[in-house]
Chain A
């Protein structure tokens, strides 16, 4: 993983909205991760955890005013490296679409309703590859064909409202891959689509990553998507990463109570009929500030007074003081980190494929502690 220099290294990214003392909102608070060629990195968390803001900050698409962005995001660009957070607007416009591309959540609203699909594809070819006229039209048709849109010549002349939801997202993906960007960010690309189409779109993204060696940053709240697609996963809560791990250890031995809660809240097909879902209690509005302690503490079934004594650090699993690391967590320790002083013990969660409700896990934990 760390053998080569990463394509994009995000270090201590922070995004603050507002900015007058107590009014300010720290949407992203020191998030670090790397993107590597041909790998899919996931940013996971519920609405409001800062995952979309992270992606917009990297793309330079946050509003000009009222936002402070900190940290660095060093990307390998032709002729060296560049810190995306410090580049001029003009430079960013050159990079966007050509070196880095983004796929958005709602394909209908993300397409211009009064411009034909063809134009929306060719404009990016014209901008970054200097293609015009019939050459651009031909390339656009090939791109649509490549992302699996049947009868591309006809579709080029059509408007977004004439396409199905899945086709619209494919068209957006065609625009994103038009200039073979090295980094692609997908912000909940399947949320607005029905399940069969979701699978097709994920398959398409997976193939693009494999064939082109693109680095994909996948932003989602859908752990099914994460399990199927992501190689490395960052679980975000209230603007900070609370757990990071490659896919296998994260699903096998989640240690942060939030991750455990997310996994536990997935509805199960084999659950007895009528069994209530097991949500994480409260909402993201119940946070406390990270400066006071663990932001998740008010919603956590595991919290102790220790959780409220200053911000917990991101530490390797098993390394935290006072935690008897489970046998399974030692091997992946270097890559598996969490931000928790009172994690769920590996032994309790070994069988993640059939989780108890998080509440039950919590009671168990309390009984032992």
Chain B
């Protein structure tokens, strides 16, 4: 098991190496640059060239990339061009918000998706099944920012029952322990803060959950349909076990294995969805910051954040694979 983990962590090196090269090439290709975003419109061409020089952007790409690698080796991801703070610092202040949002979205997707998928499979061809399959198709097809926007207009602006922006209502006082508002509130006993934060999480959480929810419903449904036809489910029924025992121990235990894997893969979709969702709801996480950094061509922030997200992604999938091996003894043996 330890060797497996070490091997997976070593895979991070080529992954991040390749990704950083791609990022450098892409960012070079992007039209414009920080000299346009940072300087006023009436700045002269000389001033713009001077800024590029001072940022080292006039050097050849190879030189820039090597300098970047040198800094990374020292644990330095550079400084944001717009805020002047270290990229790692910017990341750490914003990351808890995104974690909270992503976890909320994944919880919604899992708690709604698995039962829905199960019911759709067991009542195959019923209205519920057709609705679940059709709805999940719609969920996959609907762009996240569009859904986010619709939710915002309907629930926040027309009905006015849910807040439309930020993590908390303005002026809310809270004790900050970890940056995770809900968790901190539960630990300190500030339940009004918890409730306030949950209300703010509702709309972006649902918007962000749409794609994972749709995928989980479909995966669960397909998986359950496959497993109920397996011989061992027939054996369980032949043993006269209670319906619930058959359902949980024999059907779901097996049917959820592929769903667990998909949850790991979906975190990727979650992070990319977070960029759009956070922008729509002015949610102060890494997603909205990446969006702004793209607008201002804040190269250090873009490369730094994206590499950190990729690292997270690899770690989450490592965790998923470890949990998978705990769930499936056949994988453990290898």
Seen from chain A, the residues whose Cβ lies within 8 Å of a Cβ on chain B are: 59, 61, 92-98, 101-102, 104, 106, 109-116, 119, 123-124, 127-128, 159, 161-162, 172, 175
B327 contacts A61, CB within 8 Å?
A: no
B232 contacts A113, CB within 8 Å?
A: yes
Is B253 at the interface (CB under 8 A from chain A)?
yes
Q: When chains A and B are docked, how far (Å) is the Cα of A111 from the Cα of B236?
A: 9
A112 contacts B254, CB within 8 Å?
A: yes
A96 contacts B240, CB within 8 Å?
A: yes
Is B250 at the interface (CB under 8 A from chain A)?
yes
Is B237 at the interface (CB under 8 A from chain A)?
yes
A93 contacts B240, CB within 8 Å?
A: yes
Q: Can you list 15 A-B pairs, Cβ within 8 angstroms, ordered by A?
A: A59-B238, A92-B240, A97-B239, A97-B241, A112-B249, A112-B253, A114-B329, A115-B250, A115-B253, A123-B245, A127-B241, A127-B245, A159-B329, A162-B333, A172-B235
B232 contacts A112, CB within 8 Å?
A: yes
Prevailing SS type, chain B contact patch? helix
Chain B residue at minimal CB-CB distance from A113: B330
Taking CB atoms, residues of chain B closer than 8 Å to A124 are 239-241
Seen from chain B, the residues whose Cβ lies within 8 Å of a Cβ on chain A are: 230-232, 234-243, 245, 249-250, 253-254, 257, 327-330, 333
Known: A110-B232, A112-B253. A102 touches B241 (CB 8 A): no
Partner of A110, one of B231, B241, B254, B330: B231
How distant is B73 from chain A, measured CB to nearest CB, in Å?
44
Q: When chains A and B are docked, how far (Å) is the Cα of A273 from the Cα of B38?
A: 92
Q: When chains A and B are docked, how far (Å) is the Cα of A114 from the Cα of B231?
A: 14
Q: When chains A and B are docked, how far (Å) is the Cα of A102 from the Cα of B254?
A: 22
| Total of A-B residue pairs, C-beta within 8 Å | 85
Known: A127-B245, A161-B333. A96 touches B250 (CB 8 A): no
A61 contacts B237, CB within 8 Å?
A: yes
Q: When chains A and B are docked, how far (Å) is the Cα of A159 from the Cα of B329?
A: 7
- 9 tightest A-B CB contacts, nearest first: A97-B240, A96-B240, A109-B231, A97-B239, A159-B329, A112-B232, A110-B231, A102-B238, A124-B239
The listed residue with most B CB atoms (<10 A of its CB), out of A93, A94, A111, is A93
Known: A61-B234, A104-B231. A114 touches B327 (CB 8 A): yes
B329 contacts A111, CB within 8 Å?
A: no
Q: When chains A and B are docked, how far (Å) is the Cα of A61 from the Cα of B242?
A: 14
Q: When chains A and B are docked, how far (Å) is the Cα of A61 from the Cα of B236?
A: 11
Q: When chains A and B are docked, how far (Å) is the Cα of A252 from the Cα of B120?
A: 55
Chain A residue at minimal CB-CB distance from B328: A114
Q: When chains A and B are docked, how far (Å) is the Cα of A97 from the Cα of B235?
A: 10
Partner of B240, one of A95, A106, A161: A95
With A97-B238, A104-B231, A112-B249 given, can you name 16 additional A-B contacts, CB distance below 8 Å? Answer: A61-B237, A93-B237, A95-B240, A96-B237, A96-B238, A97-B241, A104-B234, A106-B231, A110-B231, A111-B235, A113-B254, A114-B327, A115-B249, A116-B329, A123-B241, A124-B239
Known: A115-B253, A123-B245, A161-B333. A101 touches B328 (CB 8 A): no
B232 contacts A61, CB within 8 Å?
A: no
Q: When chains A and B are docked, how far (Å) is the Cα of A92 from the Cα of B242?
A: 11
B329 contacts A161, CB within 8 Å?
A: yes
Q: When chains A and B are docked, how far (Å) is the Cα of A282 from the Cα of B269?
A: 55
How distant is B12 from chain A, measured CB to nearest CB, in Å?
30
Q: When chains A and B are docked, how far (Å) is the Cα of A119 from the Cα of B250?
A: 11
A127 contacts B236, CB within 8 Å?
A: no
Taking CB atoms, residues of chain A closer than 8 Å to B328 are 113-114
Partner of B239, one of A115, A116, A159, A175: A175
Taking CB atoms, residues of chain A closer than 8 Å to B253 are 112, 114-115
Taking CB atoms, residues of chain B closer than 8 Å to A172 are 235
Q: When chains A and B are docked, how far (Å) is the Cα of A59 from the Cα of B236?
A: 12
Q: When chains A and B are docked, how far (Å) is the Cα of A360 from the Cα of B38?
A: 99
How distant is B331 from chain A, measured CB to nearest CB, in Å?
10
Taking CB atoms, residues of chain B closer than 8 Å to A98 are 240
Taking CB atoms, residues of chain A closer than 8 Å to B235 are 102, 104, 110-112, 172, 175
A159 contacts B240, CB within 8 Å?
A: no
How distant is A327 from chain B, measured CB to nearest CB, in Å?
46
The listed residue with most A CB atoms (<10 A of its CB), out of B234, B239, B327, is B239
Taking CB atoms, residues of chain A closer than 8 Å to B250 are 112, 115
